[in-house]
Amino acid sequence: MRKVFFTFIIASLWLSSQAQTVVTDTTDTESQIPNLNPSTDRRTPATDTREIIMGYLSYDVALQQMPQYAIVEAKMKELRQQFDAEMKRVESDFNQKYEAFLEGQRNYPRTILLKRQNELQQLLQQNIEFKQQAQEELRKAREEAMMPLRERLNEAIATVARRHHLILAVNTDSNACPFIDPDTSVALQEEVRELLSKTR
């Protein structure tokens, strides 16, 4: 009887230890199962990125390709020739008076000598001021003549850029953009030229 009772106690202890092992294994297994409930998932979802596309062209090339550009250049050339002719005339007049002064300076009384020197200095200063004024007037005349062309070019670039749903048009002049990714950009040069050729 004691032997049977002793055997029963040993069996009970063994079963109890096995039950604890099963509970422990079950707990470990449950802790390793990933949480599949999206409402309690703490992982940050991937952010959607929109592809940014820009356009590019040479502004100077586009400007020079405009039909009106040659007309403006011809007018500027004519105006420049007029200033050059006037400059040559005043320089020739100065040189003649200066040569005459050199030839007669030994025979001039002091008063006349000083008077001629002052005249030559004033004439020289006037020629310098005229040259500066001529350059400034040429610059302003060119800006005024080019302004309508630049406005039309800007409108054409904007039209083509909107056609491609672009957010930016880059000017490639002066090596401002040494690299442009062709996969995220559009060349606008030819389309802008075609558009401007149709709207003269």
Mean residue pLDDT across the chain: 81
Could you give the dihedral angle defined by the CA atoms of residues 67, 68, 74 and 75, in that order, rounded to the nearest 10 degrees?
A: 170
Q: How far is it, in rounded angstroms, from Cα 170 to Cα 172? A: 6
Q: Taking CA 152 as the corner, what is the angle to CA 170 and CA 136, rounded to the nearest 5 degrees?
A: 90
Q: Mean pLDDT lowest for which of 4-8, 117-121, 134-138, 172-176?
A: 4-8
pLDDT at 193: 96
Phi, psi of 40 (to 5 degrees): -110, 5
Per-residue pLDDT at 126 exceeds 50: yes
More confidently predicted of 6 and 75: 75
Give the Å distances, CA to CA, from 156 to 60, 85, 97, 109, 147: 14, 39, 56, 71, 14
pLDDT at 176: 81
pLDDT at 71: 95
pLDDT at 200: 61
Percent of the chain with pLDDT over 90: 60
Per-residue pLDDT at 63 exceeds 80: yes
Mean pLDDT value of segment 52-75:
94
pLDDT bin (cut points 50, 70, 90) of residue 33 is very low
Per-residue pLDDT at 82 exceeds 60: yes
- pTM attached to this predicted model: 0.65
Mean pLDDT value of segment 65-92:
95
- The three-state secondary structure class of 56 is strand
Could you give the dihedral angle defined by the CA atoms of residues 150, 153, 157 and 158, in that order, rounded to the nearest 10 degrees?
A: 70
Could you give the dihedral angle defined by the CA atoms of residues 159, 65, 186 and 183, in that order, rounded to the nearest 10 degrees?
A: -170
Instruction: Give one word for 165, left, alpha or beta, with left for phi > 0 and alpha for psi -120 to 50.
Output: left
